[in-house]
């Protein structure tokens, strides 16, 4: 039997999602918890990896077991630390694949553009100089569509020569000193969201122009962009398994009452 799980986690103390030999990772922690419950070794397959200190509000993974467990969700959560929580679990078709069946992903990046606040330091990037939100919006429009993002990711061309991806929407929210950038697309290469985010930040700080960003994009060159936003401000919000439609995706931070600005 195959099970699909949606999991939330605070990535602050983890060396990322992917299992590593010695480091504490989210994948390793969840696999140990499920293996204890079903009494055999379990391997879980995620929709994609997240880096060290990156968080998730809607990561998806699947695993296989022939064991039937009453109240599986409660059982797994009882074995997990408080910074990881299974939001839902359901039995799915044997050929379901959390990575290959995904149609879109939604990431969000949280910026504190005011006074430093230690209470949100693990979940945001602090930028003290004021950002020009309108300039960020202008630059963000350059990244919407089906484009070659060779300049804005760290995946080597020898590893994946196809670096064309579709970004459906980039949204900017702001409330007082809190700025929130969202990316919805059919897939993202390594560090792609963080590199795009820091590029937008540089525009907002007046360090580069919108024209500079267009030139970087057109170069399709791994040396064109050296920017990479801090990891702790990034959240994987949702993985969708139906074709993306703008009106079906209204996810926002529940603990921050952002007001959407068009």
Residues with catalytic function: 51
Q: How many CA atoms are closer than 13 Å to the CA of 233, on its beta-carbon side?
A: 24
Residue 106: Cβ within 10 Å count? 22
- In DSSP notation, 26-85 reads HHHHHHHHHHHHHTS----EESS---TT-EEEEEEEEEE-S---TTHHHHHHHTS-TTEE
Residue reference for tokens 């480091």 = 23
Contact 125, 112 (CB under 8 A): yes
Task: Determine the Cα–Cα distance for residues 203 and 124; give it in Å rounded to an integer.
Answer: 19
Alpha carbon distance 153, 225 (integer Å):
8
Q: Are 199 and 181 in contact (CB under 8 A)?
A: no
Output phi, psi for 48, to 5 deg: 170, 165
- C-alpha–C-alpha distance, residues 221 and 99, integer Å: 27
């Amino acid at each position: 039997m195959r099970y699909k799980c949606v999991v939330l986690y605070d990535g602050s103390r983890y060396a990322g999602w992917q299992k590593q030999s010695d480091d504490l990772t989210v994948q390793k922690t969840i696999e140990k918890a499920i293996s204890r419950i079903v009494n055999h070794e379990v391997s879980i397959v995620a929709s994609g990896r997240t880096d060290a200190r990156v968080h998730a509000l809607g990561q998806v993974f699947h695993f296989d077991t022939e064991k039937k467990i009453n109240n599986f969700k409660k059982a797994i959560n009882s074995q997990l630390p408080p910074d990881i929580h299974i939001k839902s679990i359901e039995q799915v078709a044997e050929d379901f694949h959390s990575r290959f069946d995904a149609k879109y992903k939604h990431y969000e990046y949280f910026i504190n553009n005011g006074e430093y606040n230690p209470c949100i330091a693990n979940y945001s990037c602090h930028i003290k100089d004021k950002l020009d939100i309108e300039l960020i919006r202008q630059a963000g429009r350059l990244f919407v569509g089906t484009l070659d993002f060779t300049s804005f990711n760290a995946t080597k061309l020898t590893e994946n020569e196809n670096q064309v991806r579709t970004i459906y929407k980039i949204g900017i929210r702001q409330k007082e000193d809190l700025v929130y950038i969202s990316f919805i697309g059919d897939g993202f290469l390594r560090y792609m969201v963080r590199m795009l985010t820091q590029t937008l930040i540089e525009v907002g700080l007046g360090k580069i122009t919108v024209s500079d960003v267009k030139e970087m994009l057109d170069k399709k060159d791994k040396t064109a962009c050296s920017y990479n936003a801090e990891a702790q401000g990034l959240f994987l919000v949702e993985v969708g398994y139906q074709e993306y439609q703008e009106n079906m995706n209204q996810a926002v931070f529940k603990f921050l009452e952002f007001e959407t600005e068009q």
